[in-house]
Amino acid sequence: MELKSLTYTSWARPRISDGDIEAILRSSHTNNPLEGIGGVLIFNGGAFMQVLEGSEKAVDDMAERLRADKRHSNFFIRDERLISERAFPDWSMAYLRLKDDEFVGEDRVQRALARAVPDATRNIIRALTQSLPVAR
Ligand SMILES: Cc1cc2nc3c(=O)[nH]c(=O)nc-3n(C[C@H](O)[C@H](O)[C@H](O)COP(=O)(O)O)c2cc1C
């Protein structure tokens, strides 16, 4: 089966609440294992970055669902590619909340990433983390 990896960024709705984030994670933890989707969601208070991995159809369908979600806007696909193995095999949706400046965020993301993440994916995530706008 073809596996696909899709990475997007988006802007969180202004004044998005902790409850909204909890609801998003609840949906992810319920739906993603059923759809065979894994990945990581990164949130810095103002913007999201998410990597979705799974079958091509599951990932494309989820991306269309996410694009329509009113809790964020400016949904922008940064990378999509076919992959031979998952970088996030064990997570239905890992979650990282960045709170400090971009450097601390990058460092934390790098530390938290699975060792198995291929360099190419790691570099994309590093670049995207650096370009995530920081909420002030
Ligand atoms: C930034 C962001 C990331 C999301 N990630 C996921 C996800 O990985 N899986 C998922 O099922 N829903 C995710 N959602 C929520 C979906 O847009 C949608 O609300 C949900 O899948 C609906 O399913 P439910 O009725 O079971 O909650 C996300 C929403 C946002 C705003």
Q: How far is Cα 13 from Cα 43, in angstroms, rounded to an integer?
A: 12
For 69-92, how does the pLDDT look when each residue is reduced to its tens digit (9 = 90+)? 999 999 999 889 999 888 887 678
Q: How many domains does the structure of the chain reveal?
A: 1
41: left (phi over 0), alpha (psi -120 to 50) or beta: beta
**What atom in ligand 1 is closest to the CA of residue 69?**
17
Q: CB count, 10 Å around CB of 39?
A: 23
* pLDDT on residue 87: 80
Residue 113: inside a domain: yes
Is pTM beyond 0.85? Reply is no
pLDDT for 100 beyond 60: no
- Atom 21 of ligand 1: nearest residue by CA position: 27
Domain with 82, as residue range(s), is 3-131
22: left (phi over 0), alpha (psi -120 to 50) or beta: alpha
Residue 136: inside a domain: no
- Atom 20 of ligand 1: nearest residue by CA position: 27
Q: How far does residue 21's CA lie from ligand 1's centre (Å)?
A: 10
Mean pLDDT, rounded, for 30-58: 91
* pLDDT on residue 30: 96
- Atom 9 of ligand 1: nearest residue by CA position: 28
The CATH number assigned to the domain holding 34 equals 3.30.70.100
